[in-house]
Structure 1
Amino acid sequence: MHGNSHHHPQSSKPDLSSTQGHVLNMGWRYDLLLWFMNLQSRGELKQVQRKIMDLAQFQPGEAVLDVGCGTGSMTQLIGQCVGVTGTIYGLDPGPKQIARAQAKANQSGLSITYQVGVIEHLPYPDQSFDVVLSTFMMHVLPDNVKQQGLAEIVRVLKPGGRVIIVDFKRPESSAQPSEKPEHTGPWKSGVQDQPGFLQAAGFSGIESGEIATRSNKLPEIGYAIGSRLI
């Protein structure tokens, strides 16, 4: 982390009411749900996680923030990529999610810093991270919080740093319903909207696409990537 950067004001004890987004706070029960989803999809959920890692292209020594980290599954994988010279931070509004993530990191011996907090008020100094990752979280946020969150991500990214957003797709046509389940959240959000949000936030080099899944037990998944201008 940059010692000379401006420190963003933060609450010492953020609470669940500090965000307009939908908060999951399940702890070990969330891991049980993911285990069941992976079983139903015949291991494809785990394959999706590996595809996300390939997409992100984490490098040894990078400083990475996983915003909306849940119980820390992705941060554990990130640790294998950035190595001992890298730094990993996980942020989530659910205290039980963070407690579970920290317990898993302690058990595995990985050095990961977890904190309860919200995307619209990231408790980190300016220009702290090389990469910010968000997986399956944006669809639980209203559009105004997405905008606030992306502005915060711009702030905490180093010049040239990148953001990777992975989320569920919104069905393109209601006339032809998909065989796959839908997870668009209460705001009918879809990852298709993310390139526009990234552009409005000032990101450049924006790329988007699909993460293919064969199982009808998983929703359609896509991604959007952008870089902070130098």
Structure 2
Amino acid sequence: MTETSSQERDYLPGMGKHYLLPFYEVVHRVSGLGRVHGRMAAAAGLRPGQRVLDVGCGTGNLLRTIGKQHPGVELTGVDPDLKMLARAESKLRRAGLRVRLDRGFAQELDFPDDSFDAVFSSLMLHHLDTSSKDEMLREVHRVLRPGGVLVLADAVFHDHGHMREHLRDNVGDAVPKRIAAAGFSVEPTRRHRLRLFGEVGVEVATAH
């Protein structure tokens, strides 16, 4: 596990507070998010030998799913939370997967241009403020090779008039429009109802 970011940034832990980290796996299991991860892994059309990045990889659940479905791909995960990464490292080792895990931030990915064939991100975008969302998507576009695929899942919110600005960015078709503005061709949103915590939209987009 390495630290790659050139500067510190504020970030929101995966469960909102570090002391809630032990409940992260319980929430993942009971919400049904594992099924969404399986569909995300299938949506990218991965082939052996391709390089895959998970931005905001958390404790490695999505990386584990991708690695099991596509054992021939090269996996890398990035997250700002060292406690999350430590759990991911242990979990992925137990699963028999070789994964590079780096501490870093979505807005400044420390990889060369055209480094990856596919980039994934699950339930992370809404944690970022509006400008950071755009920074992240520009960085994802930069590290993807031309024709590479972004598969991004995030919560779908409904604006009832009392929503914070960075969450309002996830209302309606705001997310696919933001992805398209970063230089992607975006497929229609695939929506999935979780057992708990509402609805998730999965965006599949191709870099050009």
Please give the per-residue CA displacement for 1:141-198, whole angstroms capped at 9, x wherever unaligned: 01111111111111110111011110001115x29xxxxxxxx877224163221111
The reply to whether residue 32 of structure 1 matches residue 14 of structure 2 is: no
The reply to whether residue 213 of structure 1 matches residue 193 of structure 2 is: yes
Aligned length: 203
Paired residue for 2:9?
Answer: 19
Contact 1:61–1:87 (CA under 8 A) maintained in structure 2: yes
Please give the per-residue CA displacement for 1:104-156, whole angstroms capped at 9, x wherever unaligned: 12222211000100011101111110000011000000111111111111111
Paired residue for 1:55?
Answer: 43
Q: TM-score when scaled to structure 2?
A: 0.85
Sequence identity of aligned pairs in percent?
29
Paired residue for 1:223?
Answer: 202
Structure 1 residue ranges without an equivalent (≥5): 1-10, 176-183
Q: TM-score when scaled to structure 1?
A: 0.77
Q: Which moved more, 1:57-66 or 1:150-159?
A: 57-66
Shift of 1:203: 1.2
Larger radius of gyration: 1
Indicate which of 197, 201, 211 corresponds to 2:182: 201
User: Which aligned segments of 4 or more residues in structure 1 are displaced greater than 6 angstroms?
Assistant: 25-28
Cα 1:55–1:28 shift into 2, 3 Å: farther
Partner-residue secondary structure (3-state), 1:18? coil
Contact 1:27–1:100 (CA under 8 A) maintained in structure 2: no
Partner-residue secondary structure (3-state), 1:212? strand
RMSD: 2.7
Paired residue for 2:67?
Answer: 79
Please give the per-residue CA displacement for 1:6-35, whole angstroms capped at 9, x wherever unaligned: xxxxx95648x7235423387895363332
Shift of 1:88: 0.4
The reply to whether residue 104 of structure 1 matches residue 87 of structure 2 is: no
Partner-residue secondary structure (3-state), 1:88? strand
Paired residue for 2:33?
Answer: 45
Shift of 1:60: 2.4
